[in-house]
Amino acid sequence: MKLRRLAQGLVFALAASASLGSTGCIKKILAKGQIKSTREGSAAMQTTADYETARIAASAGVAQFEGMHLLVPDDENAYYLLIRGYASLAFAFVEDDMELALLAGKDEEVAYHRARAKSMYTRAIGYGIEFLESKHEGLNAAIKSGNEKDIQEYVQKFKDKEDADFLFWIGQAWMARTNVDKADIGGVGQVFIGRTMIERAVELNEAVERGSAWVLLASYYARTGANTIGEESFAKSKQLFEKAASVNEGKVLLGKVQMARTYACRMKDDSPGRKESFALYKKLLEEVLAAEDPLPEARLTNAIAKRKARRYLSQKWIEEVAREDCGWEL
């Protein structure tokens, strides 16, 4: 009798355990489905031109994505939403606050928003490293070596077109973090990591993020040309900006904004007062403002581009920020 009761108890315990495991599995499946739907549905926000609504949604979004990642730590879509969410929030909104503080001459606020942007890019990079390592080991070792060849060999492990999305956003965060805090020598020394990820992204999918990867590379070479006085680097920059425009048919306006701020600002120009450089800068930004609604699927991105173009064309920005940076004598 005792033996029979013991057997019954064992059967009950095993059944209960299986039930609990099954319930946990079902919950995980449901959560993964919700996360996948959230990633697919997130594209809808790109169709709004309301900057303030987008800011609120982006801030709330990263909190939601953190929760999703906590519930399903190995979910690829949750990783993607987190990486893209932090990188986008920093670029579109926190850097915007930083520029407004710069124009207002509020140095403490500039430092505050710079630190916020850097922190968000760092968080995006952290999740990015975690995800890439889970797919293919070796990134941490390559970063530690500080050898560009090691990073190049590592990114070759990614061979699927879908990998381009991850490499783009992680690379964007890496390069943007360097740009937002040029005083961080360690960060500047790692910019090649982000660039290498972007280069691999366009090898896998040249149209990733509607040509935005080409814009990042073009901006990088414009800045490199300015630092090394390299005409070849400027020529490459112009070529890559043109490649971006061919990919998105000129309908993603941030490309022209970045071309104005990097290539036009720093290009070789022997005209008195660098007037040719200034003329191209104005032309590109005025074209952005004149564009009506070239691509509804990128309406938010284009609204951000127009907001930036309006600021960069303002007399205050030109006189207090761009003139010195670009060497204009106006």
Q: pLDDT truncated to tens, each residue of the chain (330 aa)?
A: 544 554 444 444 444 444 444 555 666 776 788 889 999 898 899 999 999 999 999 999 999 999 999 999 999 999 999 999 999 999 999 999 999 999 999 999 999 999 999 999 999 999 999 999 999 999 999 999 999 999 999 999 999 999 999 999 999 999 999 999 888 878 788 999 999 999 999 999 999 999 999 999 999 999 886 555 456 788 899 999 999 999 999 999 999 999 999 999 999 898 999 999 999 999 999 999 999 999 999 999 999 999 999 999 999 999 999 999 999 997
Q: Which CATH class is domain 51-205?
A: mainly alpha
Nearest to 325 by CA among 276, 293, 278, 256: 278
* Burial of 287: CB neighbours in 10 Å, binned 0-12, 13-18, 19+: middle
What is the reported pLDDT for 34?
87
Joined tokens for residue 162: 């879908």
**Cβ contact 57:38 at 8 Å:** no
What is the reported pLDDT for 188?
83
* Burial of 35: CB neighbours in 10 Å, binned 0-12, 13-18, 19+: buried
Axis crossing angle, helix 299-313 with helix 51-71, rounded to the nearest 10: 130
Q: Determine the Cα–Cα distance for residues 285 and 211; give it in Å rounded to an integer.
A: 19
Positive/negative CA dihedral, 154, 155, 159, 163:
positive
Q: Determine the Cα–Cα distance for residues 56 and 52; give it in Å rounded to an integer.
A: 6
Residue 216: count of CB within 10 angstroms of its CB:
24
Which residues does 188 contact at the CB level (< 8 Å), separation at least 6? 178, 182
Joined tokens for residue 202: 């366009």
Nearest to 76 by CA among 38, 46, 45: 38
What is the reported pLDDT for 278?
97
In Å, how far from its chain's centre is CA 263?
Answer: 20
Joined tokens for residue 62: 């990263």
Q: Give whole-number Cα distances, 282 to 127, 133, 142, 162, 285, in Å.
A: 38, 44, 42, 37, 5
